[in-house]
Structure 1
Amino acid sequence: MAFLSDTEVNRIKSEITQDTSSLGKIYKSKKSQFENIAVNHSDVVKYNSDGWEEYTKPLKTKTPLRRLKGFFTKFEDDIWCQFYELGFRKISSKPILLPYSKNEGELEEINIVAIHDETIFIITCKANEVFSKAESFAEEFSTLKQKLDGFKKLFRQIYGDKYKVKYIFATHNIRFDLDSPDLEVLKSSKSFLYDNNAYSYINNIIKSYKSSSLYQFFGLIFKNELINLDKIEIPAVQGMMGNKKYYMFSIEPHLLLKMGFILHRTKANVSEFPTYQRLLVPKRLKGITKFIDDGGYFPNSIIVNFNSSKHSIHFDASSKLTSSNSCFGTLKIPNSYGIAYIIDGQHRVYGYAGSKYLKNNTIPVVAFDGLDTIEQLEIFMDINENQKAVSPSLRLDLEEDLFWDSDRADSRIKALRSSITKELSNSNSSPLYNKISVGEDTSILTFKPFTIALSNSGLLPVAKGNKYSDDSIKYSLYDESNKDHNQEMTNAKSNIGILLKLSYDFVEQNYSDIFKREKYFIVSNRGTYAFICLIGSLNRFLIDENTLTKKSTPEERFEQIRKYLKALLDYVSDIPKEEEEKQLSLLGAGADIKWLRNFQSIVNKKYNEFNPADLIDWNERQNDELQDKGRKFGVEIEKFMKKSTLSRLKEIYGDKWELEIGSIKRDCVDRALQEDEKNHKEGLDKESSDWKDMFNINDYKTIIEKHWTKKPEKNNGNFKTFEDEFSINIGNGFNSKTDKIKWISIFNSHRNLWAHEGTKEKRLNKNEVEFLEMIHGHFYN
């Protein structure tokens, strides 16, 4: 007896639209953020009260109205549109009632049914308006297996046995605990949880892969599931490379596309971590397809790894040459989705997806069997390292997997920075959940500011090779004395992660207007650096005050930091408009440091005991009076050096003095000519530059060193040598010539701070001005 009556069969088939023209119109409607209706002119006011609005001229008998779709309707429509964009052309246009048994009344409303050549997807949609923890679906899922069995019988009766039937539970803004019983039910029923991450990922591959996105979609949804029981049998050569067994063969692109899968660096593949691949470049993909269709080919091999816990490959050797360790044979590959991870060559493989040669070309493949993902990652990095194919952001993301178990301390710290950043982005308990771009997932914050902030905050130690900086050890939340590196890495990740989550949560819960405002003082790339470094600065201060210790818990640490963060956030809540605009307009290199100093200054105004050395230094460099004083000393020192150096040369060598510094003179003449050329091009009517005005500090240093003890032939005893005039004891030893003129190198470095009048990027602090004053006193007192 049939599962369904003919009437029911016809009803269900009629509700699954397959007319391409109708589907196109439905897609256009569902893609819009508005729902549209046309009502009698007399009913417009009534509809206005329900949120409908006129958006175009009235028609003859009707008035077109529209209103924004509700969040659930919009989500349901977005899922529908995604399947249409994937290439599905048999889709239910509205929710459909499906019977799951022969008993009358045992029906389930399904939001979307989508059918492709060999697959049927049954999709239930659930959504929350704001991101929140899932309600229990225990009652709904208690009969899920029974219902799915019924749905499969239903569709096999209508469409035949060739179709794979898959249930998708599509959610938006719903968070499940990792040990959720509902997730266990979905897993046991071989259903797929299509959450925020999966939705975003599919959106991205649709944009990147266009018409070929369906292959990666199937690989994600049906990973390791058999397409059919027929194995793919291919002639192959088996060999060994680096103690790893591999196979070389040629295969039709359409077969590799079905069994292939790319481990994109995205939260949708989090169960597969470590992952490593970038999304395809759409323009490049289109160009490759055209290249293939025009007769082009790629002689180099695609590199894959067969990695399935359920369906393994098998090699039957047929012959082996005595002169080689390789052997010929037949490779038997399960006809399964997502078992061949494409390590290198994804553009070439997917370039065939839209090609006319999809089924009648073959492409060369080198296939490993059973590599773990770290080994795949290492191969990927080795291949791409010298090609600059790995983006900087992806490199930062990969550092956790590359360096976590490194023998070098500095590499392990890199891994920690990467891991902490991903924890802030990926953890459901984090206020920054999904707000940081990780791998191929893009968001409002980028990865790099977090790694830079963690490097400079002092929350992690500074290491070079296997040696830690002594000063950084005192304040970091990493115990370098723990020789169990994995345990200490895990501890530090947890401690720093909790501290930062508590700090950001404090902002979100108590200053929501500040937290929700993107590109503002906290949730922005500049704000990231300033906020995390401020937390590190407060941690150093409180340890120095003996309020905290290196062993304090994250909760204890936050409780002590809280009042200082409150001072910052109270000020930002009521910041003067002019100051707000000034800070937000800071761009480019150095803006993040300026924001940090501003944050520290705000806290210092409320709690003046918090006055870190870097803030003191910063304030000194902003002091115009101090800059003027240092600049005055510097100018006069340089004038003295020029006058004294040239006069001594003339006394020693007379008219031949210029010949003694021939190479320096040539450089100075060249500089003078360049200066004249620059003035000419800028339309400045100036006299030709004198080469004697073109000496720099290093020129004086060279002259002083070379002629250190030289005296004129006729010396009345009053002549001061360069050694006599320019030896200055700066407290770093005073034995060698190098010791005695060390001050010149320091003076030259300071010159870069005072020479550019008007800039606040390079300025002098109090110690540097005192140094200039001491050198000035040596020459003028």
Structure 2
Amino acid sequence: MHLPPQYRSLYVIDGQHRLYGYSDSEYSGSNSVPVVAFLDLPREEQLRLFMEINENQKAVSKNLKHTLDADLKWDSKNLAERAEGIKKQLAQELGENVTSPLFNRVLVGEDQRTDIRVITLEAILRGLNQTKFVGKFTKDSVREQGLFNTGDSAATVEKLRRVLSALFIYIATEYEVEWMRLPKDGGLLTINDGVTALIMVFGDVLEHMDRTAQIKPLTENPDSILEKAATYLDGLKPYFRKLTEPDRAELRKKYGSGAPTRLRRIFQRAINDAREDFNPLGLKEYWRDQSKLYNVETYSRVADIEIKLRDDVKQLLMHEHGAMWLKKGLPEKLFTHLSTEAAKKNRLIEKDEDEKTPWDCLNLIHIREIVMHGAQWSTLFQKSFTIPGQESKKKEDKTSWLVKMNGIRNNADHEYSVSKDDADYVAAIHDWLILGDHTDIASRNSGSELEAQADD
């Protein structure tokens, strides 16, 4: 059998590990290796044999499968397989081509992971699959023509490689500090989730520019496309300038498999802030839904806090005033108001056991009126309801947390959004009152005082 010295003149169906290991040994140039060879075996059959041989043995890494698929499928007669092969070949070339900013950052074949080489072919493919770069196909028909699909696999891969390399070069240059951050140091753009999100956003920007006739993907050169796309990608700069270490940690740890989508939406919003004409489908709806992310959890904690406050205040008033606790413990105006509210509700209630008392109509802001009524603050409530660290403040300031809690409760209960800061504040109050841990709320108070002193 004659094997020409030509790239892709043969494919190794099984034994890649042994071949790679042997090729680096002292015997590779002199010894003969016995093999079983198949001449003119269709690529589909090669792939089937490979999968069959390895399925019941040690699992083959997904990365290696993608590498093999790139070779086997990229010029398949099956259009859907061909599109898959094009994307896998493109992902591989972005990692292997020395002109690509992803060179030596992508794990190709059986590359070993390093501090900088952490990006998988799967991460690149996830991004490409969310774009319209290659298009969508069935086995034998076109469902959606790709922006850069020329109809020729090699030409399509080359066109896309040059365009994406140009876009990544822009990111690596304009966001150099961020690009040079190692994953272990909190880098966002050079980890799998970051690369996936960047490719998605590249797709969003280029799709918008094509739809608005700003570019001609198939005929325009990559430098021209980049020059126009940069006016959108520049919108990311304010986001990265303001990005904090806690934000990085939250994005990397909290969102899990949803991190690429989260980052994509963050990038889209940043670009939209700079360019109002860029408004991807679903962007407003995503942030509308996300804006209520903390509502349910916060409302639950506020409810727990409110129940405890009602019970604690009631017990202290009963201990102080006995059977007359309701009349003596409440300001006259509040007692009248709550009695009226109870009467209104009871008119609609048919069962005696369901009727409401004035105390049942209480809310958080009313509790503040009660604890501040007469001398009750100093004699009954000051010790229990003063946030640790605020002992030297005035009565109004010591009880201001109840005002803030009432406002947050109203937001959580209605159509308004609870911010992360408010959610964290409620969690700190909850820890203090329910769990007996005042560490967080005390540190928040200390930080607020330092800021106030700085302002003065």
> TM tier, shorter chain?
0.5 to 0.7
Match among 519, 528, 538 for residue 195 of structure 2: 528
What secondary structure is seen at the aligned counterpart in 1 of 2:120?
Answer: coil
Superposed CA deviations along residues 284-330 of structure 1, whole A, max 9, x for unmatched, are: x9xxxxxxxxxxxxxxxxxxxxxxxxxxxxxxxxxxxxxxxxxxxxx
1:452 paired to 2:110: no
> What is the CA distance between 1:546 and its match in structure 2?
1.3
Residues 235, 272 of structure 2: 8 Å contact kept? no
1:518 paired to 2:182: yes
Question: In the aligned structure 1, how far is the partner of 2:10 from the partner of 2:196?
Answer: 27
Match among 143, 153, 172 for residue 469 of structure 1: 143
Which amino acid in structure 1 is aligned with residue 33 of structure 2?
A: A
What secondary structure is seen at the aligned counterpart in 2 of 1:613?
Answer: coil
> What is the CA distance between 1:624 and its match in structure 2?
3.1
Return 5+ residue gaps in structure 2 as ranges.
Answer: 22-27, 297-417, 419-456
Which structure shows the bigger proportion of residues in helix conformation? Answer: 2
Question: In the aligned structure 2, how far is the partner of 1:542 from the partner of 1:424?
Answer: 23
**Higher relative contact order (CA closer than 8 Å, sequence separation 6+):** 2
Superposed CA deviations along residues 245-301 of structure 1, whole A, max 9, x for unmatched, are: 9xxxxxxxxxxxxxxxxxxxxxxx988775565536xxxx9xxxxxxxxxxxxxxxx
Match among 264, 269, 279 for residue 601 of structure 1: 269
Match among 44, 54, 59 for residue 384 of structure 1: 54
Residues 275, 377 of structure 1: 8 Å contact kept? no
Residues 273, 373 of structure 1: 8 Å contact kept? no
Match among 147, 166, 170 for residue 506 of structure 1: 170
Match of 2:212 in 1: 545
> Rg: which structure is higher?
1
Cα–Cα, structure 1 residues 371 and 558, in superposed 2: closer, same or farther, change >3 Å?
same
Match of 1:496 in 2: 160
TM-score, length-normalised on structure 2? 0.54
Match among 337, 344, 348 for residue 30 of structure 2: 337
Residues 477, 495 of structure 1: 8 Å contact kept? yes
Match of 2:327 in 1: none
Match of 2:251 in 1: 583
What secondary structure is seen at the aligned counterpart in 2 of 1:458?
Answer: coil
> What is the CA distance between 1:547 and its match in structure 2?
0.8
Aligned residues: 276
Match of 1:556 in 2: 224
Return 5+ residue gaps in structure 1 as ranges.
Answer: 1-244, 246-268, 286-334, 343-366, 483-487, 629-757, 759-781
Match among 431, 439, 448 for residue 109 of structure 2: 439
> What is the CA distance between 1:407 and its match in structure 2?
1.4
Cα–Cα, structure 1 residues 453 and 271, in superposed 2: closer, same or farther, change >3 Å?
same
> What is the CA distance between 1:369 and its match in structure 2?
7.3
1:279 paired to 2:21: no
> What is the CA distance between 1:382 and its match in structure 2?
4.0
Superposed CA deviations along residues 633-669 of structure 1, whole A, max 9, x for unmatched, are: xxxxxxxxxxxxxxxxxxxxxxxxxxxxxxxxxxxxx
TM-score, length-normalised on structure 1? 0.32
Residues 453, 529 of structure 1: 8 Å contact kept? yes
Question: In the aligned structure 2, how far is the partner of 1:273 from the partner of 1:590?
Answer: 40
What secondary structure is seen at the aligned counterpart in 2 of 1:394?
Answer: helix
1:407 paired to 2:71: no
Question: In the aligned structure 2, how far is the partner of 1:614 from the partner of 1:573?
Answer: 26
Which amino acid in structure 2 is aligned with residue 444 of structure 1?
A: V
1:398 paired to 2:68: yes
> What is the CA distance between 1:451 and its match in structure 2?
1.0
Question: In the aligned structure 2, how far is the partner of 1:580 from the partner of 1:369?
Answer: 52
> What is the CA distance between 1:527 and its match in structure 2?
0.4
RMSD (CA atoms) = 3.5
Which structure shows the bigger proportion of residues in strand conformation? Answer: 1
Which amino acid in structure 1 is aligned with residue 256 of structure 2?
A: G
Cα–Cα, structure 1 residues 404 and 435, in superposed 2: closer, same or farther, change >3 Å?
same
Match among 391, 416, 419 for residue 86 of structure 2: 416
What secondary structure is seen at the aligned counterpart in 2 of 1:589?
Answer: helix
Match of 1:478 in 2: 149
Residues 410, 464 of structure 1: 8 Å contact kept? yes
Residues 238, 270 of structure 2: 8 Å contact kept? no
